[in-house]
Amino acid sequence: MRLMKQIWEKAKTDKKTIVLAEGEEERNLKAGEKITKNGLANVIMVGNIDVIKEKVSKLNVDLTGVTLVDPQTSDKLEKYAHEFYELRKKKGITPDKANKIVRDPLYFATMMVKLGDADGLVSGSIHTTGDLLRPGLQIVKTAPGTSVVSSIFMMEVPNCDLGDNGFLLFSDCAVNPVPNTEQLAAIAISTAETAKSLCGMDPKVAMLSFSTKGSAQHENVDKVREATKLAKQMQPDLKIDGELQLDASLIQEVANLKAPGSPVAGKANVLIFPELQAGNIGYKLVQRFAKAEAIGPICQGFAKPINDLSRGCSSDDIVNVVAVTAVQAQAAK
Ligand code: ACO
């Protein structure tokens, strides 16, 4: 992806510390070497140090410059357990439970980010999206001014003139199963912000539906229409319109017929899906049928960056997600 080169260069300008919570896993070990050699981030790998060292020697990986941390023996364990207890005692967590929970590498790595021992977290090569997000949602929580953590996919479609010459952001395709009106508005605003800060885009946000400007009546359409109105109230300068069908969002001739005069229709480069099933199916359709490159899910809305990996990811995918996380960490400071 063209943008990734710029993201790598930006990551190098102000090196951040990123923790990989699945430090015993082979693709993560290879990624740790590549990230360090390319100067993209300072890397911390979480796991059993003997297991990591054995795999490093078997794989012939060079982890010079990478910090290894074992949650079971770390001198930070007591502090993390205490802080986790303080954060979650209202939810029924006892000191004893907190001590057990923070030994889990995902919780331990999330506490590192919360307490500033790392600037961002990348995980998910052997865990589900939910396994990774839950500690993040419980511990790091949302950034000020945002009520919702959501996600984007950067989509680059070859030989395509839709969006920005085939480059578009899709959201939310990975986190919120059924966003309500307020959440949908928040997802649109977060995605526009990510489009500017991470991708250098001038966002034109289409709020997708099966209806364009009242062509169909349904409570699901009302939700999209109301979320659009709310997002406009929250950010009057935002170029956003809805509800719009996909063709009206992307193709000027259709927009001229269905949504004349719209500042977005026909030229949208940010697509907001009304709920997760549509979003998840939608990005995979474009990825498979149009052979688009899909980078994500990249999370947005966390107080500090946390990003997920696909379980089918390669070590190069991990390197790219770490570069993205490092750039998000630069913006989060
Ligand atoms: N933004 C902010 N806070 C949130 C969000 C959100 N989107 N979702 C939940 N929370 C908060 C809750 O309010 C709660 O806070 P509290 O405990 O301090 O009161 C906390 O996070 C944990 O909430 P839970 O109810 O325990 O978590 P939940 O069971 O709702 O799970 C999750 C949240 C993991 C994001 C869930 O919605 C989920 O599994 N989403 C789908 C993930 C998925 O499978 N995606 C598809 C695959 S990805 C792919 O194909 C690329």
| Ligand 1, pocket-test mutation among 125, 133, 142, most atoms within 8 A of CB | 133
Q: How many CB atoms lie within 10 A of CB 229?
A: 15
The residue whose C-alpha atom lies closest to atom 13 belonging to ligand 1 is 137
The residue whose C-alpha atom lies closest to atom 4 belonging to ligand 1 is 137
Class (C level, CATH) for 150-289: alpha beta
Q: Please list every protein residue whose CB sits less than 6 Å from any atom of ligand 1.
A: 91, 129-130, 133-134, 137-138, 142, 148-149, 174-177, 280, 297
The one-letter amino acid at 308 = D
CA dihedral (209, 213, 215, 217) positive or negative: positive
pLDDT at residue 2, as a whole number: 80
Q: What is the pTM of this model?
A: 0.93
Q: Which residue from 3, 28, 19 is spatially nearest to 311, judged by alpha carbons?
A: 28
Q: Is 331 helix (H, G, I), strand (E, B) or coil?
A: helix
If phi > 0 it is left, if psi is from -120 to 50 it is alpha, else beta; for residue 201 that is: beta
What band does 128 get if pLDDT is binned at 50, 70 and 90?
very high
Average of per-residue pLDDT values in the chain: 96
61 near 29, Cβ under 8 Å? yes
The residue whose C-alpha atom lies closest to atom 16 belonging to ligand 1 is 138
Structure tokens given for 159:
């030989």
State how far the Cα of 109 lies from the Cα of 178, in Å rounded to an integer. 28
Percent of the chain having pLDDT more than 90?
Answer: 95
Identical fold, 2-141+302-331 and 150-289: yes
| Ligand 1, pocket-test mutation among 146, 175, 187, most atoms within 8 A of CB | 175
Q: What are the residue boundaries of the structural domains of the chain, listed by start?
A: 2-141+302-331, 150-289
Stretch 14-33: mean pLDDT = 97
pLDDT at residue 307, as a whole number: 96
State how far the Cα of 33 lies from the Cα of 38, in Å rounded to an integer. 9
* 333 has a pLDDT exceeding 70: no
Which atom of ligand 1 lies nearest, measured to the CA of 128?
A: 44
State how far the Cα of 193 lies from the Cα of 86, in Å rounded to an integer. 32
* 1 has a pLDDT exceeding 80: no
What is the spatial order of strands in the sheet that 67-69 belongs to? 67-69, 41-46, 16-20, 120-123, 306-308
pLDDT at residue 310, as a whole number: 85
* 120 has a pLDDT exceeding 70: yes
Q: Express each pLDDT in 220-249 by its tens digit.
A: 999 999 999 999 999 999 999 999 999 999
The residue whose C-alpha atom lies closest to atom 26 belonging to ligand 1 is 134
Stretch 15-35: mean pLDDT = 97
Q: Express each pLDDT in 60-78 by its tens digit.
A: 999 999 999 999 999 999 9
Stretch 187-210: mean pLDDT = 96
* 96 has a pLDDT exceeding 80: yes
Instruction: Provide the pairing of β-strand 67-69 with 41-46.
Output: parallel
The residue whose C-alpha atom lies closest to atom 25 belonging to ligand 1 is 134
State how far the Cα of 203 lies from the Cα of 171, in Å rounded to an integer. 13
- To the question of domain 2-141+302-331 being in CATH 3.40.718.10, the answer is no
53 near 47, Cβ under 8 Å? no
